[in-house]
């Protein structure tokens, strides 16, 4: 059965491929699984029908054969477990790739999202200018450690995996991009992810939604 994911009807990112349906689309493209997209408005996302799928009233969601999932990481793990190409076959390597998925979502992305939230929601506060360097430093500490671990490797642990997919997705967030540039190996890591044909297909598909709304 073709899975259906949800995405913003009108994405605030204006076609930059930042909304979190993007990593799910990317994962589906990597494994060659066709999918359908149901676009939802901001008000629909907060209605009970959508909250049944996503308790926090957010996108993305994933529905397939009686299964409804939320949380990007869980959705991608599900996709990766059912198809080849996103997790290694060797059990230990697979466990390590899953550890990188968690690292992306629970160690790296939160500090980036915290900076993003400050930029969006706190920029009119008197203490904003004072707080921003503190948030930048929190991102920098994580990226410094990540950069040290990545070293000269193409990917975080051997072949490209769902861990890389989620880490590249976190580093693509605008709140991280200036700091990513301080670490040339991380900038190259992101560029390698974005150069993957599956990434490009996912990006184009998400961009098409933005373009259709803009031209309407």
Ligand X SMILES: N[C@@H](CCC(=O)N[C@@H](CS)C(=O)NCC(=O)O)C(=O)O
Are 183 and 147 within 8 A, CB to CB? Answer: yes
Specify the 3-state DSSP secondary structure of 193. helix
String of contacts with ligand X for each residue 2-31, x by CB under 6 A: -----------------xx-----------
CA angle centred on 193, ends 79 and 39, rounded to 5°: 50
Q: Whole-number minimum distance, CB 92 to ligand X, in Å?
A: 26
Are 170 and 73 within 8 A, CB to CB? Answer: no
* Binding segment toward ligand X, per CB under 6 A, in 56-64, 80-88, 114-122, 145-153: 56-64
* Binding segment toward ligand X, per CB under 6 A, in 52-60, 116-124, 145-153, 177-185: 52-60
Tokens of 193: 């992810």
Which residues pair with residue 64 across a beta bridge? 67
Q: What is the DSSP pairing of strand 36-40 with strand 67-70? A: unpaired
Q: Whole-number minimum distance, CB 124 to ligand X, in Å?
A: 20
* Binding segment toward ligand X, per CB under 6 A, in 53-61, 82-90, 120-128, 187-195: 53-61
Q: Whole-number minimum distance, CB 58 to ligand X, in Å?
A: 3
* CB of 19 or CB of 180, closer to ligand X: 19
Are 72 and 62 within 8 A, CB to CB? Answer: no
Positions that interact with ligand X (CB under 6 A):
19-20, 57-59, 71-72
């Amino acid at each position: 059965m073709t899975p259906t994911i949800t995405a913003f009807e009108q994405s605030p990112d204006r076609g930059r491929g930042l909304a979190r349906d993007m990593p799910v689309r990317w994962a589906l493209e990597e494994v060659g699984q066709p999918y359908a997209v149901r676009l939802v408005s901001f008000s629909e996302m907060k209605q009970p029908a959508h909250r049944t799928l996503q308790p926090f009233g957010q996108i993305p969601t994933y529905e397939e054969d009686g299964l409804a999932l939320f949380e990007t990481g869980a959705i991608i793990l599900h996709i990766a477990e059912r198809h080849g190409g996103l997790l290694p076959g060797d059990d230990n390597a697979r466990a390590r790739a899953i550890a990188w998925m968690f690292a992306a979502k629970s160690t790296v992305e939160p500090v980036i999202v915290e900076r993003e939230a400050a930029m969006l929601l706190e920029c009119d506060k008197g203490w904003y200018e004072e707080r921003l360097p503190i948030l930048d430093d929190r991102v920098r500490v994580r990226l410094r450690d990540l950069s040290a671990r990545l070293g000269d490797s193409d990917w975080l642990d051997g072949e490209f995996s769902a861990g890389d997919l989620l880490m590249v997705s976190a580093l693509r967030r605008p709140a991280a991009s200036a700091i990513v540039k301080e670490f040339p190996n991380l900038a190259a890591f992101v560029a390698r992810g974005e150069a993957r044909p599956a990434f490009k297909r996912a990006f184009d598909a998400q961009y098409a939604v933005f373009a259709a709304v803009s031209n309407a």
